[in-house]
Copies of this chain bind each other. A is one copy, B any other.
């Protein structure tokens, strides 16, 4: 079966890159909508930089800053209506995964003239151009064709996947991450790690995606000892700009990977922990990867050895120990919860990306070993 690689987003990176590339914004029109959350883009300075640039190059703009965590269908239609009513030509998304994913959905709703009934139809024709400015380093949404939206009626999350919503441009400036808390930084970075690791394990991995994944894994694993120290000190200023740049680039590399490979059972299982136990997404994945690798190793030892080589360790145990130290005390999970979560996770589409397809019993065993449940 042939493999493929496609990632058409232009990635621009470096200190002050938003302001340095002000002319680029004009390529996409005269009327922009900034899409962001309520406060973080104001605190970290990203919104101010964008506004300064738009004023300087004479682009009209409006701001939709009502994106919540886990953006809902109502939210993305509210934003899309606002943009459509004001005839915006393009969207500038600023924030973590939520604003970026919401903005992608808005761009698609306006471009393909979608109603709430056909948002998830897959019948998409066009999307407004989107410029993505990530202010967390984890989701990689700035370089993917995915948007995850919460369907508040069905009480579930649904993924939109279309090449139309690859951002036209991703602007990566780590200075917007300087105000992120220690725990948030660690969790999002380990989310990126899980993307890179799952991307190497996925049956859709290719030589191209592996080269990106390998570097992402190496960059993040090299920072784990520092993460532990900073967690101990509880002082986020110990994460230097240089280190935050590493997290950011590693996260974008990992995003480029999952744009090709999708994720695996780890994400399927992690989602259950996040929805039902409010365990942070990155933390959940980070805690599950180890036992997932151990499970996969039985059938695909060479593949897992390549992941371990990228991690610069010899045995899966070493990774598991590192994550236990990094994440501290584990959340208690009951056997019944594990049965429920496994039954749900086995139905997820990304299970089929695993080179060794797990059974429900395998997922239960991975959950139990990961959380020390007997």
Residues of A within 8 A of B (CB): 1-17, 20-21, 206-208, 210-212, 214-216, 219, 249, 252-253, 256
A21: which B residues are within 8 A, CB to CB? 2
Distance of A3 Cα from B21 Cα, bound (Å): 11
Residue of B nearest to A260 (CB): B11
Give 5 A-B pairs besides A3-B14, A8-B8 with Cβ atoms closer than 8 angstroms.
A2-B17, A3-B12, A4-B13, A7-B7, A208-B249
Rounded to whole Å, the gap between the CB of A161 and the closest CB of chain B is 15
User: Quick one: which of A2, A15, A215 has the most chain B CB within 10 A?
Assistant: A2
Q: Are B6 and A2 in contact (CB under 8 A)?
A: no
CA distance A249 to B214 in the complex (A): 16
Most buried by B among A3, A211, A249: A211
Contact B249 A207 (CB under 8 A): yes
In whole Å, how far is A49's beta carbon from the nearest beta carbon of chain B? 13
Residue of B nearest to A15 (CB): B2
Number of copies: 2
The reply to whether B206 and A210 contact each other, CB–CB distance below 8 Å, is no
Evaluate contact between A4 and B8: CB separation under 8 angstroms. no
Q: Which residue of B lies closest to A207 (CB)?
A: B249
A5-B16 contact in complex given A208-B249, A210-B215, A215-B207, C-beta closer than 8 Å: no
Residue numbers in B under 8 Å from A253 (CB-CB): 207-208, 211
Per the bound structure, the CA–CA distance linking A256 and B8 in Å amounts to: 12
From B3, B4, B10, B211, A6 is in contact (CB under 8 Å) with B10
B2 touches A10 (CB 8 A): no
- State the Cβ distance, A367 to closest chain B Cβ, in Å: 33
Quick one: closest B residue to A248, CB to CB? Answer: B207
The answer to whether B6 and A11 touch across the interface, beta carbons within 8 angstroms, is yes
- Contact partner, A212, options B3, B16, B17, B208, Cβ 8 Å: B208
* CB–CB A10/B14 < 8 A: no
